[in-house]
Structures are given as C-alpha cells and as structure tokens.
Amino acid sequence: MTAARGESGLPHGPDADPRAWPSRPRGLKVVHDRVGVDLPAAERAVADLLVALGKDASSEHLADTPRRVARSYAELLTPREFNLTTFPNDEGYDELVLARNIPVQSLCQHHLLPFRGVAHVGYLPGERILGLSKLARVVELFARDLQVQERLTKQVADWLREHLAPKGVGVVIEAEHMCMSLRGVQATGSRTVTSALQGLLREDPRSRQEFFALAGLGGI
C-alpha cells in the first residue's frame, strides 16, 4: 500500500546505526506506491459516463467536464509525499500525545462519493516522537484513496505502530458520508465513528479512557 523509500539526515555505511546518534532527528521520505491515475483514460471514461447518463457531452457546458473530473479524482486519490521526521524521546515523555480534529476527506469505495470529517490520532511515545503535523500527513496518506472508514482508521494506526514503535496508538475518525447524506437513507448530519486502538491504549483501561476523554469522546 505504501512504501517508505530512502532516508535523509543519517550517515551511510557501517556507522549509520541511528542508535549511534541518539540526539539526531531521523528522516524518512514517505511516498505511496499505488498505480497512478491514467488521466486520458479517465477523461474518456467520464465522457462515456456523461453520455450514459443521457447528457450531451459535446455541449459547451460539459465540454471540459471530463478533464476537470479526471483531474479532481487524480488529486483526491494521490497523497502528497512528505518527510517523516522523528526525534529521540530524550526526556522520556511517557504521557499521551494527541492531535485532535485533523481534517479527513476521502472517497467511499462503494459509491465514489466523498466522506469527510475529523480524525483524532494519539500515541504513547516509545523511544521516538514525531512532529505533530506529521500525524495529519499520515492520515492523508491513506485518506487519498478509495476507502471504507474502518480500513482507513486501522491503516493509520498500523502505520504509526510500524514506523514509530510507540507503546500504544489510538485513532478515532468521525465522518459524514455523502452516500448516506445525499442518497439512500439521506441521513444528513449523521456521523460514523470508527476507532482503532493498539498496545497500551487497547490493553490498559485507564490509558484507553484517557485517550477517549482527550479526544472528546468520553461517552464511548
């Protein structure tokens, strides 16, 4: 699904063991390895869809629509690269680190309609900590894809566990799905809440409670 390629900020060779530089930040360029969007093919498909929907794809108003739609989907399905910089937890900070209300926008894989809301992402630090803004980039890494909310939530938690080795990680996503608001049951305003807890945040009731309380979800 994703790949972390290359490292920066580290010497190469036999002395490159990061443990030899405990006070250095460590960088990892994060890129996705999904198949890219074939824009010309997407444009043709959108033009065909317009015709199938009974629309005159050659009308002046729709002439540029296939190009716009194809580019919109490409943007929504392509996460931006970022550098994951982690720092040694020199102070031995062992309390919860939580970023609340990270914006989430993604595309439901069942209807190709957006769902959007917020994510609360927290972790109990192990040996390394990371810049808080990076939590938002990790969310985007998986949100810019065809998704279901449950999988998105778990992927963010799994990724943080693998790359940060925290003592615990928790992810809650609250989102409104356009496929529920605009069609079907038309449950406007209804939000779906999903959570993924791992490590101490799963096993220790007090840590779990603290996470949900700080995330503003004391009722769960």
- State the nearest-atom distance from the C-beta of 144 to Zn ion, in Å: 16
- State the nearest-atom distance from the C-beta of 78 to Zn ion, in Å: 20
Binders in 169-188 for Zn ion, by CB under 5 A: 179
Size of the site for Zn ion (CB under 5 A): 4
Binders in 108-127 for Zn ion, by CB under 5 A: 108, 110-111
- State the nearest-atom distance from the C-beta of 151 to Zn ion, in Å: 13
DSSP symbol at 57? T
Measured CA to CA, the distance from residue 98 to residue 85 in angstroms comes to: 17
Buried b (16+ CB within 10 A) or exposed e, 160-180: bbebbebbbbbbbbbbbbbeb
Contact 38, 78 (CB under 8 A): no
Q: Which is nearer to Zn ion, 137 or 144 (CB)?
A: 144
Residue 43 in tokens: 């444009």
The answer to whether the Cα torsion of 210, 102, 2, 151 is positive or negative is positive
Residue 88 in tokens: 């040694």
Which span sits near Zn ion by CB under 5 A: 25-33, 107-115, 160-168, 204-212?
Answer: 107-115
Verify binding: residue 128, Zn ion, rule CB under 5 A: no
Per-residue x/- marks for Zn ion, 181-220, CB under 5 A? Answer: ----------------------------------------
Give Cα 181 to chain centroid, integer Å.
Answer: 22
Q: According to DSSP H, which parts of 132-197 are helical?
A: 133-143, 149-164, 178-181
- State the nearest-atom distance from the C-beta of 150 to Zn ion, in Å: 12
- State the nearest-atom distance from the C-beta of 190 to Zn ion, in Å: 13
Q: Which is nearer to Zn ion, 49 or 179 (CB)?
A: 179
Q: Calculate ∠ Cα 139-29-144, nearest 5°.
A: 30
Which span sits near Zn ion by CB under 5 A: 34-42, 100-108, 125-133, 155-163?
Answer: 100-108
Interface ranges with Zn ion (CB under 5 A)? 108, 110-111, 179
